[in-house]
């Protein structure tokens, strides 16, 4: 969903405010002030704090989806390459947009039921995509794990956790981390072989 | 740290309240009411909401530590068995005490600096323990991963995420999940061999 420049501003200012204070302690009035507009100007676009929260979370999904869609377009149909590309995109999302991840971790529970439903629906595409990649790999015999669904959840969790410790000024570039976590995700899936890899596997 | 029965009550009631409403929106007055005591009775034990938050988080660490300490006492020095035991204990913590995990995920950021320092210090034992298990396994050549530290973080993250979807009424018992995640954690570490395992590894 494309945001207008003004909506984009509210979403960015609101995200900073929610990440800083939490949804419960944040005020829509403060967000309007920090955006330098009147409260009614904000209400024209987002009818309340809940509406703005949903827009911020949806914007996070859009950012995430465009990263992995772009990454998958750059590789072929091979499940190993697709898996690597998807993991690299997840690492990119967590290292480049840590505030999106923080919003997801702490504020989803503040969505009211209808918003939670819409948000869940929007996330479905990405969830389904990695499921398909793994299932294709299992069907082709290149992933031999007995637990494809737990592996899927684990890959999402281990890349999500990067945001908890990643330091943009630290030694790891996002690209290096992306390669490393792609390799680890493959190991988790028990690959029948890892072409060109130096993962330390025997035989 | 041992809590008195009364402190235990405040910690349990406070945890429920913080998990339900978030720290920012929770009131110490409501917690006292729900515990059926006067505000001053609560203040006698915890001087403010911040102090209670710290006690709740510390209690979570105590619960966690006693689970993995007990699990490790039941196995020998073999890094593979220690790793399995540690992962099983993590799964037990996430399935049996989901509210502890939710507090950690959402409320640590509300600790003031001194509390955050104390909490971090208390968590050090568990963090160091899994680090040592992995390092011992790498030194012994039974784990061949090139990324022991990322594997450590990933194992903690993938077990932590279980709390997001685990359903006590669902098909998986905590014990089954524990075995499964122990096997997955081993796969992540690129074991030189998995004795008695049917992980689907070739060779």
Q: Do A184 and B144 touch (CB under 8 A)?
A: no
Q: Do B22 and A181 touch (CB under 8 A)?
A: no
- Map out the domains of chain A with their CATH numbers: 50-188 (1.10.357.10)
Which of A25-34, B91-100, B101-110 bottoms out in mean pLDDT, i.e. has the lowest? B101-110
Q: What does the block give as tokens for B154?
A: 């990933």
Give the residues of chain A that fall short of pLDDT 50.
196-203
CA distance A40 to B154: 45
Q: Which residues of A touch B21 (CB under 8 A)?
A: 24
List pLDDT tens digits, range B63-75. Answer: 999 999 999 999 9
pLDDT over 50 at B90, yes or no: yes
pLDDT over 80 at B197, yes or no: no
Residue B200 makes CB contacts below 8 A (sequence gap 6+) with A144, A145, A146, A190
- Partner residue opposite A200 with nearest CB, options B150, B160, B190: B190
Check residue B200 and give its pLDDT: 42
Using the structure block, give the residue that is written with the tokens 């939670």. Answer: A116
Alpha helices in chain B (DSSP H): 5-21, 28-35, 39-45, 49-73, 79-96, 98-107, 113-139, 148-160, 162-165, 174-188
- Partner residue opposite B200 with nearest CB, options A23, A110, A146: A146
User: Which of B110, B24, B109, B108 shows the shortest CA–CA distance to A26?
Assistant: B24
> Mean pLDDT for chain B?
92
List pLDDT tens digits, range A70-101. Answer: 999 999 999 999 999 999 999 999 999 989 98
Closest chain B residue to the Cα of A150, Cα to Cα: B181
SS3 category, B191: strand
Distance from CA of B26 to the nearest CA of A (A): 9
- Partner residue opposite A203 with nearest CB, options B153, B165, B203: B203
Check residue A105 and give its pLDDT: 77
Q: Which residues of B touch A105 (CB under 8 A)?
A: 105-106
> Mean pLDDT for chain A?
92
Mean pLDDT of B140-150: 97
Q: Which residues of A touch B (CB under 8 A)?
A: 21-25, 105-106, 109-110, 144-147, 150-151, 153-154, 156-158, 160-161, 165, 180-181, 183-184, 187-188, 190, 192-193, 198-203
Contact A190, A144 (CB under 8 A): yes
Closest chain A residue to the Cα of B19, Cα to Cα: A109
For residue B106, name the pLDDT band (cuts at 50, 70, 90): confident
Closest chain A residue to the Cα of B185, Cα to Cα: A188
Q: Do B184 and A153 touch (CB under 8 A)?
A: no
Check residue B5 and give its pLDDT: 93
ipTM: 0.86
List pLDDT tens digits, range B5-53. Answer: 999 999 999 999 999 988 988 999 999 999 999 999 999 999 999 999 9
């Amino acid at each position: 969903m494309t945001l207008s420049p003004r909506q984009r501003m509210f979403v960015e200012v609101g995200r900073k405010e929610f990440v800083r204070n939490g949804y419960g302690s944040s005020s829509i009035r403060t967000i309007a002030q920090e955006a330098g507009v009147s409260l009614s100007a904000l209400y024209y676009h987002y009818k309340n704090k809940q509406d703005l929260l949903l827009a911020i979370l949806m914007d996070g999904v859009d950012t995430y989806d465009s990263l992995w869609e772009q990454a998958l377009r750059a590789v072929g149909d091979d499940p190993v390459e697709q898996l690597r590309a998807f993991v690299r995109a997840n690492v990119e999302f967590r290292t480049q947009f840590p505030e999106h991840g923080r919003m997801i971790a702490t504020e989803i529970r503040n969505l009211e039921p209808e918003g939670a439903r819409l948000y869940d629906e929007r996330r479905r595409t990405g969830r389904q995509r990695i499921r398909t990649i793994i299932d294709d790999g299992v069907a082709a015999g290149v992933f031999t794990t007995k637990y494809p669904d737990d592996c899927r959840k684990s890959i999402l969790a281990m890349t999500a956790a990067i945001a908890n410790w990643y330091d943009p000024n630290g030694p790891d570039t996002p690209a290096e981390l992306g390669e490393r976590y792609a390799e680890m995700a493959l190991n988790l899936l028990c690959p029948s072989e890892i072409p060109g890899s130096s993962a330390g596997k025997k035989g």
